[in-house]
Amino acid sequence: MLTAGLLSLLWLVLRSGPKPSRLAYPCQQAVFGTAAAAFGAPLVAATLALRGRALELLRPLVSKLSLGGLVALTLVAWTFASSDRRRATPLLAPPEDYHPAIYVVSDARGIGPGRYGGVDDLIALMGMTGLKWHRSTQTTTTAGPDGMIDPDVVVLLKINAQWAERGGTNTDVLRGVIRQIVEHPDGFAGEVIVADNGQGSGSLTRTENNAEDHHQSPQDVVDDFAAEGWNVTTMLWDTIRSTSVAEYDTGNMTDGYVVSPTYDPETTMKVSYPKFRSQGGHYVSYKHGIWSPATEAYDADGLVVINMPVFKTHSIYAVTAAVKNHMGVVTTRFSTRSHDAVDDGGMGTLLAEVRLPNLTILDCIWIFAHPEMGPQAYYEYASRRDQLVAGRDPVALDAWATRFIMIPQIIENGYSYAQYHDTQDPDHPGSVFRTYLDASMGEMLAAGIDTTNDYNAADVYSWNGPAIPVASAWTLAVTVLLMFTAGTILQRSRRI
């Protein structure tokens, strides 16, 4: 225990010494717990407070490690690395005929009365190109029989609520998405739940938020809709992340996390997900859907999940977006190895074994584009892009957005190719970003879920401003031809 505590304390000082904000990371918090168990929390806290002096004292200790110790460590590292712990078989290749749709709104219109123009345009774009937002017998631009949201379902909006300032999901965009949900043509009678797990540092009531009005928190947005009479609620999974529970069908009605008893053999992560009773009275299993105590059955289609990450660089995993945002679904408690498993494709394991979101809306109104920084994103370092990107394939979405939004902004911020090549570069298979993205893709493909890391395979539909959506060159050509024909007929009728 003392050895583990000493190594943990050494790691904390060396890792967080040059950047104290790293102490908020889940991996740092876990190591802090080990050190505190060995030496006591006050001593560890005091050491970290005097980390500069501690670094001076620890350097001689490190330099005096015996050659035998170094050799032993080398042998252990070599054995661990050569064991090919990430997967026993090669990664599967994406299907050649698979072309996921990606929807892009640029120059997004901003705040309107109780709504957000960019979200309105995004949902209109999706509807005009085949993905209807509302399921209804009525057929409109945004509604139809094959729509995504029934009038009586529970819609869970999984936002990022772990970080302040530009580090969290834009609450103006959140308002716009909720507005579109409750404006169901058949009348919305379900519940909207805004949720996240910040692993102990999450908050839905901050005063420094990602919005035009910095004081507008996710809870403020939810309260506004509740005041209008809608069943819109919040759920901070931080409050239940330390409670291990069984599923509803076992008779367990307690809020908490369902945790796999075993580690995934390829990503070495214990899969976990939340289960809770919402403020609106629904029993929600993130994996199985909505539980009915009356029928003792789950309604899988009764739960619609919309993933709403904010687009940022990450000092450990290079990019945090659609895939990485699922770290706010799992728990880091119970030795799940969730955060460390990201690099091995752990989020792909979650997506494959628990739930793939019905849609991801990637918040790119403000992005954080600094190769060695993030996920904490301060106001003064964020870059305004005024873009929203959506799709059903989180891997393809991350690959495309990183190539065409993140990398251009990194370059515009003054960073060189050498500074982002080994970290964020989506064209470098060995980059930090591609390593975890490809591993996540492999987990999904192995489970029979179509996905791709090839951004060129995507069918991209763009809305360039509020005027005319351009779904494809073919659509534009047909539109122009019809306009030309109509004009010719009109001219001839005038001559007659």
Q: What is the DSSP string of 97-157?
A: T---EEEEEES---EETTEEHHHHHHHHHHHHTT--SEE-SS--SSEETT-SB-TT-EEEE
Whether the pLDDT of residue 71 is over 70: the answer is no
Whether the pLDDT of residue 183 is over 60: the answer is yes
Rounded percentage of the chain residues whose pLDDT exceeds 70: 76
What lies within 8 Å, CB to CB, of 53 at 6+ separation is none
Whether the pLDDT of residue 218 is over 80: the answer is yes
CA distances from 124 to 115, 120, 462 (A): 14, 6, 11
Q: What angle do CA 400, 403, 409 make, to 5 degrees?
A: 125
Rounded percentage of the chain residues whose pLDDT exceeds 90: 75
pLDDT digits (tens, 9 = 90+) for 162-173: 999 999 999 999
Whether the pLDDT of residue 274 is over 70: the answer is yes
pLDDT digits (tens, 9 = 90+) for 86-115: 455 578 899 999 999 999 999 999 999 999
pLDDT digits (tens, 9 = 90+) for 347-384: 999 999 999 999 999 999 999 999 999 999 999 999 99
DSSP 92: P
Q: How far apart are CA 144 and CA 107, in angstroms?
A: 28
pTM for this entry:
0.80
Q: How confident is the model at residue 492 (pLDDT cuts 50, 70, 90)?
A: very low
Q: How far apart are CA 389 and CA 212, in angstroms?
A: 19
Residue ranges per domain, the chain? 2-82, 101-464, 469-496
Q: How confident is the model at residue 483 (pLDDT cuts 50, 70, 90)?
A: very low
| Cβ-contact 362, 401 below 8 angstroms | yes
Q: How confident is the model at residue 345 (pLDDT cuts 50, 70, 90)?
A: very high
Q: How many CA atoms lie within 13 A of 73 on its CB side?
A: 6
Q: How confident is the model at residue 312 (pLDDT cuts 50, 70, 90)?
A: very high
User: 375 versus 64: which is more confidently predicted?
Assistant: 375
Q: Please tell me the predicted confidence (pLDDT) of residue 237.
A: 98
Q: Please tell me the predicted confidence (pLDDT) of residue 91.
A: 81
What is the average pLDDT across 260-281? 97
Beta bridge partners of 104: 389, 462
Whether the pLDDT of residue 294 is over 80: the answer is yes
Q: Please tell me the predicted confidence (pLDDT) of residue 76.
A: 43
Whether the pLDDT of residue 478 is over 90: the answer is no
Q: Please tell me the predicted confidence (pLDDT) of residue 54.
A: 54
Burial code (b: 16+ CB inside 10 Å, e: under 16) for 132-160 equals bbbbbeeeeebbbeebbbbbebbbbbbbb
What is the average pLDDT across 276-286? 98
Q: Please tell me the predicted confidence (pLDDT) of residue 68.
A: 52
CA distances from 191 to 278, 313, 355 (A): 9, 33, 19
317, two tokens: 């995993």
What is the average pLDDT across 211-224? 98
Q: Please tell me the predicted confidence (pLDDT) of residue 158.
A: 98
User: 71 versus 298: which is more confidently predicted?
Assistant: 298
Q: How far apart are CA 196 and CA 39, in angstroms?
A: 33
Mean residue pLDDT across the chain:
86
Q: Of 211, 399, 388, which Cα lies nearest the Cα of 306?
A: 388
Whether the pLDDT of residue 143 is over 60: the answer is yes
What is the average pLDDT across 122-135? 97
Q: Please tell me the predicted confidence (pLDDT) of residue 45.
A: 59
pLDDT digits (tens, 9 = 90+) for 232-245: 999 999 999 999 99
Q: Please tell me the predicted confidence (pLDDT) of residue 149.
A: 98
Q: How confident is the model at residue 61 (pLDDT cuts 50, 70, 90)?
A: low
CA distances from 256 to 45, 60, 246, 249, 286 (A): 29, 46, 8, 14, 11
Whether the pLDDT of residue 329 is over 60: the answer is yes
Whether the pLDDT of residue 3 is over 90: the answer is no
Q: How confident is the model at residue 7 (pLDDT cuts 50, 70, 90)?
A: confident
CA distances from 73 to 69, 80, 165, 268 (A): 6, 10, 41, 22
